[in-house]
Structure 1
Amino acid sequence: MSSIWRRLLISLSASLALAGAASAADCDALIASFKSAIADQAFEKVKDAMGAIADDSACNFNIDAYRIQEINSIIDMAGAAPTDDARKQMIEFVEGIMEIGGDWRSAEHLGDYQAHRGEYEEALGGYETAISFLSRAAPPATPKDREELLARAAAAKSQASDDQEGRSSSRFVASSRDLSGRLGGIYSRELLRGFEVLAVPVPVNFYFGQARFTPAGEKAVEELAEAVKQQNVETVTLVGHTDPRGDRQYNVELSKRRAAAARDYLLSHGVKARILVDGKGPDQPFDISLLGRPVTQEEAWALDRRVEWIRQGAPD
């Protein structure tokens, strides 16, 4: 190799090394700015710093991790927003970028934030988004993670549709659907991973002291029937539950009659599966420790009043 070519190669290598060092330094500065904006709880600065990272080809190799940090930090900021308009702006921004940059944990975080505010229909949307993200490679969800996510989605769905045993009117909040039109949310097959059997709490509402569906309860059992038919199961087990008020034995019998009412509805609406029923009365209350938030006594009792679909882990 001639001395001229050798000098050119040395010069080029030196230039590339300098450029690489400069890019690394620039990236470090952008990341430092991003972290500083998060620490300062500065919404606009976080967005701008994240945008700068995304636009830098040398810095955006770990863009997904930074996007998750952005989402979670803005949800936290919304909790301390100075005005309701500012809070709404933050949450709308998060919802807008969740699909492209979120994971199941960040979507669950959004659901938790909304459930804490008593915005149960919105919280259900966050939890259902989290459920739809479970199939993504990372982060992996353990059976305990899935159990908690199911409980939170089921509680939000129940609380959003609660008609206080027929004493008030309530619009039933339907489960989300996937691109094929199949029911998702609490009925998602993704929740079954890691379980041979999973108890799915279904918010089937009944009139006080009766085994007669309220209007919202009839919508819930109609949705259950659709889910059972879609998943093509051979055997269905339905278990009724009540809150603890009143005589225990009466409540056990009431819970059995309510599970039987759900069975009869399913059979009369095209479900071909063998359906078993049982009733536990007040003996197996809803596990509110899975919610990660406080509930009132009335809310806990409302969650206790449910029908569970004991779902097997067999494929469709």
Structure 2
Amino acid sequence: MAVAATLFLLAGAAPATAACEAFTGVVEAFNAGDEAKARAFAAAAGTANCRAGERTLIGRIASLTVFNRITTAVGNGEKLSDHQALLEELQTQYGGPWQVLDALGDLARDRKDYEQAARLYQLALEDSANETLTPDWMAPDAQYILRLDRLASEMRLAAPRPVQLAMRGGCKISFRGVKIKKKSTPVRYVFGTADFTPEGEEAAKDLAECLKAVKPASIRLIGHTDSIGSTEANYTLSLARAETLKAYLSSVGYAGAIATEGRGEDQPFKPDDASAYDTEMLNQLNRRVEVDVE
């Protein structure tokens, strides 16, 4: 069971008072740890003199008030899974914040629902980067942003079906000033060949759409393999797979320069918790092409 990734937030770090009274009230309820009042202010915000963005943020603060209590309970020895229903309720009712999505991602990963975990970690990453809904006092630090990206990438590689690189619009390579230079893609190939599987082609299409959105001037595709087969054959195969992806991206309209490189089995993927996977799944994580945005 993975340890829940949670953050305590200092009550004194609440945002400045806004125009609507419900916003002021929910901040005070958050500081006091009063869940009932926080939820009440969130419910009243729809009829109060609050702008749409303020109403959404009020809901996020109410959700975070509840989340802090869950964090304390887990820190005192309770299981995060015991709070799954409440976390799901917070996601449904308030849409976040990223801390709730991150915790739900941990739970999905623990039950080996890698597809759902990939979506939740990606949503947490994108939510954390929304500076309107996630003001600085609520935001993760740089290391946690990198953790969210790493886990989202790992879950995409482990998922049986392709999961989009972005859940809410165009792809990003910078989150709150933290640059994500390298992405591991879940492009799958027929075993022992450089031919896409149907799932691999779908993932390659998703990557192409991201590159069209981001428009980097150049990228480097770095192929990796598992350790099955000879070292020499794996070098050749890893480069061939990177070349196949290069040809595809060029054919569908990516106009930047593409360099390719094969690393074979030399740089195995480093999962967050290798003990969670069997040998076949570890091999699947190792079969990847990394996109290095130069």
Kept in 1: contact 2:121–2:151 (CA 8 A): yes
Matches within 5 A, 1:176-191: 176-178=166-168, 181-182=169-170, 187-191=171-175
Which residue is equivalent to 1:124?
118
Q: Which amino acid aligns with 2:99?
A: R
User: How many angstroms does 1:292 deviate by?
Assistant: 8.6
SS in structure 2 opposite 1:307? strand
Match among 290, 295, 298 for residue 280 of structure 2: 298
Which residue is equivalent to 2:36?
51
Distance change (3 Å), C-alpha of 1:172 and 1:74: farther
Which residue is equivalent to 1:311?
293
Which residue is equivalent to 1:172?
162
Kept in 1: contact 2:172–2:214 (CA 8 A): no
User: How many angstroms does 1:248 deviate by?
Assistant: 1.1
SS in structure 2 opposite 1:138? helix
User: How many angstroms does 1:95 deviate by?
Assistant: 2.2
Determine the C-alpha separation between the residues in 2 that align with 1:292 and 1:147: 18
Match among 79, 82, 88 for residue 81 of structure 2: 79
Matches within 5 A, 1:21-100: 50-55=35-40, 63=62, 65-70=64-69, 72=71, 79-80=81-82, 89-99=85-95
Distance change (3 Å), C-alpha of 1:91 and 1:175: same
Which residue is equivalent to 2:14?
none
2:189 is aligned with 1:213: no
Which residue is equivalent to 1:6?
none
User: How many angstroms does 1:142 deviate by?
Assistant: 3.6
2:229 is aligned with 1:246: yes
Kept in 1: contact 2:226–2:287 (CA 8 A): yes
User: How many angstroms does 1:158 deviate by?
Assistant: 2.1
Determine the C-alpha separation between the residues in 1 that align with 2:236 and 2:109: 33
Distance change (3 Å), C-alpha of 1:144 and 1:118: same
Determine the C-alpha separation between the residues in 2 that align with 1:276 and 1:215: 24
In structure 2, the gaps of 5 or more residues are 1-27, 43-57
Kept in 2: contact 1:202–1:309 (CA 8 A): yes
Which residue is equivalent to 1:9?
none
2:270 is aligned with 1:287: yes
Larger radius of gyration: 1
SS in structure 2 opposite 1:173? coil
Q: Which amino acid aligns with 1:283?
A: D
Which residue is equivalent to 2:253?
270
User: How many angstroms does 1:113 deviate by?
Assistant: 1.2
Identity %: 26
Q: Give CA deviations for 1:113-156 in whole Å, capped at 9, x if unaligned.
A: 11111112221222122111222223443443222211211121
SS in structure 1 opposite 2:190? coil
Q: Give CA deviations for 1:8-32 in whole Å, capped at 9, x if unaligned.
A: xxxxxxxxxxxxxxxxxxx99xx6x
User: How many angstroms does 1:97 deviate by?
Assistant: 3.7
Aligned length: 241
SS in structure 1 opposite 2:269? coil
Kept in 2: contact 1:242–1:281 (CA 8 A): yes
SS in structure 2 opposite 1:79? helix
User: How many angstroms does 1:222 deviate by?
Assistant: 1.0
Which residue is equivalent to 2:102?
108
Kept in 1: contact 2:119–2:163 (CA 8 A): no
Q: Which amino acid aligns with 1:188?
A: K
User: How many angstroms does 1:98 deviate by?
Assistant: 4.8
Determine the C-alpha separation between the residues in 2 that align with 1:218 and 1:151: 22
Determine the C-alpha separation between the residues in 1 that align with 2:265 and 2:102: 29
Q: Give CA deviations for 1:50-89 in whole Å, capped at 9, x if unaligned.
A: 22454489xx9x85652331464799656247xxxxx5x4
Determine the C-alpha separation between the residues in 2 that align with 1:56 and 1:218: 48
Structure with the larger helix share: 1
Determine the C-alpha separation between the residues in 1 that align with 2:256 and 2:214: 11
Distance change (3 Å), C-alpha of 1:281 and 1:220: same
